[in-house]
Structure 1
Amino acid sequence: MHLHHVQIACPTGGEDVARQFFVQALGMTEVEKPPALAARGGVWFRAFDTAGSVTAEIHVSTEEPFTPARRAHPALVLESREALETTRSRLVDLGFEVDDTERHTFDGYERLHCRDGHGNRVELLAEAPSAR
């Protein structure tokens, strides 16, 4: 068994805000939804490794009424602490909320929590230098 994707929500019409977060800030790639699902709205994103294999997939669906996921969240592992810092800087530069208060509370990793433009929580992790 392995995880195929994680689904989060946004309000109807919130796809562009999701694109800014997942593409511009996190560096994921938008992928086309299957035709049978495209009419429902929403948008899908994938991350790939250097060989082109999918390493993460996030589906953003629309829902009304919308309530952001304040506690539940996807957790994405970045390839290095440097990548974590670069991504953190992009998030801040684009105006997204970043929380470093739990930076060293998960053994073997450095991490941060952030919020997409709709208030959904997302965790970003990288192996701590001492864990390698």
Structure 2
Amino acid sequence: MIAALDHVQLAAPPASEPALRAYYGETLGMTEVPKPAALAANGGLWFAHGPVQLHLGIDPDFRPSHKAHPGLRVTDIDAFAARLTAYGAPVVWNEELPGYRRLYSEDPVGNRLEFLEPIG
């Protein structure tokens, strides 16, 4: 039986780790988690914030994901949107999901990310 979602992995191009580290670490405020030694040689980065984990794996044939995306719950979405904007990340508001305020953004390599906050 499935008990929980352990992590989400997104792809990234070779040599993108510095830009990803700045975005996921500084912009999103996530903590970089050391990869196990057996996996570290493959490149990429792992990040966590509380129970949420995002893994970024290096793919030599990388194409950004413009449709598939993780949905990340945030608190104070207006302040979060301002933070994204201050760091130069795009913010596109979307009001199509009842009961939520949400926006879309992209990481530095073009992967789509959804950020949402329940209303009320």
**TM value normalised by structure 1:** 0.85
For 1:112 and 1:20, how far apart are their aligned partners in 2? 20
Q: After superposition, where does 1:1-132 map in structure 2 within 5 Å?
A: 1-48=3-50, 55-78=51-74, 80=75, 82=76, 84-100=77-93, 102=94, 104-129=95-120
Q: What are the ranges of 5 or more consecutive residues in structure 1 without an aligned counterpart?
A: 49-54
Identical positions, percent: 38
Q: CA RMSD in A?
A: 1.0
Q: What are the ranges of 5 or more consecutive residues in structure 2 without an aligned counterpart?
A: none
For 1:25 and 1:128, how far apart are their aligned partners in 2? 24
Post-superposition shift, 1:94?
1.1
- Give the counterpart letter for 1:90 in structure 2: R
Post-superposition shift, 1:64?
1.1
**TM value normalised by structure 2:** 0.93
Post-superposition shift, 1:21?
1.5
SS at match of 2:49: strand
How many pairs were matched up? 118
